[in-house]
Every structure is written in C-alpha cells, then in structure tokens.
Amino acid sequence: MPSLRNEPELGLPSPQGLIHDIAEQAFSRASGAPLVAGNDVRVLLDGQENYPAWLAAIREAQRTIFFENYIIEDDEVGRAFAEALAERARAGVKVRLIHDWLGSLGGASNRFWRELEAAGVEVRCFNPPRLSSPLGWLSRDHRKMISIDGRIGFVTGLCVSRRWLGEPSRPLSAWRDTGLELRGPAIGCLERAFAQVWREMGAPLPPALFTEPSTIPLAGDVSLRIVADEPNSTGLFRLDQIIAAAARRTLWLTDAYFVGFAPYVQALRAAARDGVDVRLLVPSTSDIPLISPFSRAGYRPLLEAGVRVFEWNGTMIHAKTGVADSRWARIGSSNLNLASFVGNYELDAAIDDERVARKLEDIYEEDLSNSTEITLTARKRVRPLRPRHVPASPPGSRSSLGAVRFANAVGVAAAASTRTLGAVESSIMLGLALILLAIALVAILWPIVMAYSIAAVVGWLSLTLFLRIYRNTRQRELEPPGNARSGLPE
C-alpha cells in the first residue's frame, strides 16, 4: 500500500487543497452565493468618493440602470441623483428605482417621485403599510446597490442624503461610510438581486433588460460573492459565523447599529478566547437614539472574553464592514443585529482577496485613531498588537497561537482615548420599568381605554388572518398547477 507521501503523485488532492475545497463549499452553502472570479473592485470612502463615482457611472449609462436604496431624500444630494436618472431616462435608458417606504418616510415628497416617473423612471416603493399585514412593516428593503449596463456596479452602506456629506454651517461632520465599486462577472449577480426585490412589488422585469452573463468580460483577479439576503434566509449570518470560526489571527468589524445577538456574540467570544484579535468599532452617538443603550448593553460579555470595543468620535460611523486574517473582507448593507440577519432584504459583497483585505485593514487602523476604546475598568484592558507583525509559525502550531496571545497581552492600544463601561444595563431596565408602570397606571385609572385598545388590536389581527386565508384560497383557485413567476434570468 503506498504511503500518504505519494498521494499527490497518484493524482489525489493534497491536504491543503482538500481543506480549501471544503472551506469554499461551506462558504457557498452557508451564504447561498457562489464565488465569482475575474472581477475588479475599488474601495470608496464616505460620500466624497462614493457619490461622484455613482453619478459619473449613471451619466454614462446607455442601456439599463438598476438603482436600489433604503433612504433617498429630497435634498441637494437626492436632487442631483434624480436629475441624473431623469436625464438618462429621457435619453431612452431603462431606469428602474426601488426605495423603501420606511427609510424614505419624510425624506422625499410624493412630488419628488412623480417628477421622476414623469421623466420615464419606473419607481417602486417597498412595503408601504397595509391593513392586511399589521406586522409587515417589520421587514424592510435595506439594500444599497446600483447596477449599470451590466458593466459597472456599486455595493455600499451609503444612502442618498446630505448627511453623508456633512453640514459645515451647523457644524456637523460627514458620516463615515464605506462602499465598493465593482466591474466584472459579479455584475450579473447584482442584476439578479435587484430583480428579486423588484418582483416582490409587482410584475417582474422583462428578460431583455438583463445582461447575458457570458457577455460580461473578465475585469480583474478578485473573487467575491454577492450575498443577497432576504427575510429568514440568514445567508450572511451563517457566513459570518463561519468566518468567525475560521479566523486565526484577526477579525475586525465596523457596524453602525450593533445590538448583541447571542449566537453571533458567542462566536466572537470564542474567537477572542482562542487568541484571535477581535475588534468591534461602533458609533458613540447614533441617529437612532434607542440603539445606543442597547448596543452598549452588549459590550460586557464581549469585553470579558477579550474582544476590544471602540466607539467612533465623529458625528456618525455608518459603515458595515469586516476583515479577517488579511484575507477575507465584507462590505455592504447588513448590520450586526437581528433585523439585518433575519428580517430585512440585505446586500453584501464578501471578498476573498488579500489586496482588498489589507486595504480595509489600513482604513480600520485609521478609523481607530479617531475612536475611544471602551474598557471594563481603568485597569482591566486588553491591548493587542497587530498579529500580522507576529513572526510566522506553522499553521495551527502552539507557537503561533501563543505568539498571538502574547501580543494581545503586551501590545499598544490604537485608540485615541479610553473610557470605562458604565452601568448601561441598569438604565435600560429603569426605562422598561417606567414603561410597564405607566401601562399599569393606565389600566388602573382608565380600564375601559385599555380594554378597547386590546379589543381593537385583537380584532385587527383576526380580520387580517381571515383576509389572508381568503387570498391564499383564491390564489390556489386561479393559478394553474406548476405555474411559478420567477422574473429572474436563468
């Protein structure tokens, strides 16, 4: 019987190749997205880099524009995009636009959308409130993407608002955010992702609008996945879990609306306890005030396990990025909370490329220079050195793991300052106690008001269930067996 040393000569896969194949299979099955090679990408920072690149690409469109964003506001930024889209539509380009009802609520008037439609832009609003679906508003289209002519696309965390450019007159600094410019075969995945949401609001896109995948030329050497999550699919959550388990040296995360979700928190804690340099950068103040206390309530279990937590010192950091082991990177719309993982339509690019990963690491270190590190106490701090400077050791050896742990103990903090974690949990519990007390007082003082309120809610829910039963029955009667409406390119 030949020895294992002769296996490569017999044409059998090497252990390293087998492990790589298994990892790729796990990533693809977990995310529901294949790895697409042959792309060129460019990381874009903030509104100053993203908006000009978007507008330039839109103005060069010749055939199709697919534009999808959670927030589009009627301000100088929104009007610049509206004018560019309207001009292309009048020139004969097929322009399709999706905005979320809740995201754009109050930001743009009906007149704003009517003017776009009058110019030839086809506009659809995702999930406006309906009496027949009392809890339907919980699911949102949180994606931010653009695809143009099957030639160029953008996957990003930025919305369309002057908040991303700042307001010097007040003064308010620009929001910190990250996006990705993309060229190559992965553009076909962007078109398919847009069509997925478009058909949820009406008739599917005509097949003629899609770019034939075989006609999209190779543009570079970057491999990536377009993870197009829909409610309850949890593709990115499963992928992030695997990355957290696979990371050996570093796992650096930036998130705008972090709210600790137990399975993911446990994955970060396990990585940190195993010697991985895990860092989380979040805003110090949020445009959604309720988020900050709930976010801080999740710091303690992370800090106790050795995860380093930083808060951005600027107006708002809105980026949703991750980078691990100078190899894997993620940029997109998904936040580290239950709404993004389970409830929303989200879109992210998961990139397998060392050049892009190192670029994000450099950006991350720059961001930490404008942040405050949160510690449990003034004395109890974890200060990791960057593990990529630790002398290399054979993969999985005790010496390599020990070197990372030693670096975690003696390194120098990168944050501009530090602050100890206060009693955040107590303030949240106090708020909940006051709310419950107020409800109890209303029930005691005005019992008829409480009774009518409960009756109205229960009656509404029962009517919506009857309506749903009727619609499901009618749909089965009207649709022929096996008739499926996909609206997606094959």
| Residues carrying an active site annotation | 142, 144, 149, 318, 320, 325
CA distance 200 to 223: 29
Q: Show the tokens assigned to 442.
A: 């209303």
3-class secondary-structure state, position 176: strand
Phi then psi dihedrals of residue 285, to 5 deg: -130, 150
Q: Which of 183, 193, 177 is nearest to 67 (CA)?
A: 193
Distance, CA of 419 to CA of 454 (rounded, Å): 45
Q: How far is CA 456 from the centre of its chain?
A: 36
- Hey, which residues does 181 pair with through a beta bridge? 42, 154
157-168 b/e with 16+ CB inside 10 Å = b?
bbbbbbbbbbee
CA angle 63, 67, 69 (to 5 degrees): 175
Beta partners for residue 133, in sequence order: 130
What number of other Cβ atoms are within 10 A of residue 263's Cβ?
9
Print the SS3 string covering 87-148.
HHHHCCCEEEEEEECCCCCCCCCHHHHHHHHHCCCEEEEECCCECCECCHHHCCECCCEEEE
C-alpha 265/C-alpha 253 separation (Å) is: 12
Question: Could you tell me what percentage of the chain is helix, strand and coil, using 3-state DSSP and rounding each to the nearest 5?
Answer: 45, 20, 35
Strand, coil or helix: 50: helix
Residue type, 77: V
Q: Which two tokens stand for residue 271?
A: 């990585």
For the beta carbon of residue 90, count every other beta carbon within 10 angstroms: 13
Q: Which residue carries 């949020």 as its tokens?
A: 286
Q: Helix or strand or coil: residue 4?
A: helix
Q: 447 phi and psi, to 5 degrees?
A: -60, -30
Residue 171: asked if its preceding bond is cis (omega within 30°), the reply is yes
Taking the C-alpha atoms of residue 279 and residue 306, their distance in angstroms, rounded to an integer, is 9
| Cβ atoms within 10 Å of 240's Cβ, excluding its own | 27
Q: Are strands 222-229 and 417-420 parallel, antiparallel or unpaired?
A: unpaired
Q: Are the C-beta atoms of 176 and 46 separated by less than 8 Å?
A: yes
Token couple for 338: 């239950």
Collect all residues with Cβ–Cβ distance below 8 Å to 173 and sequence separation of at least 6.
166, 314, 315
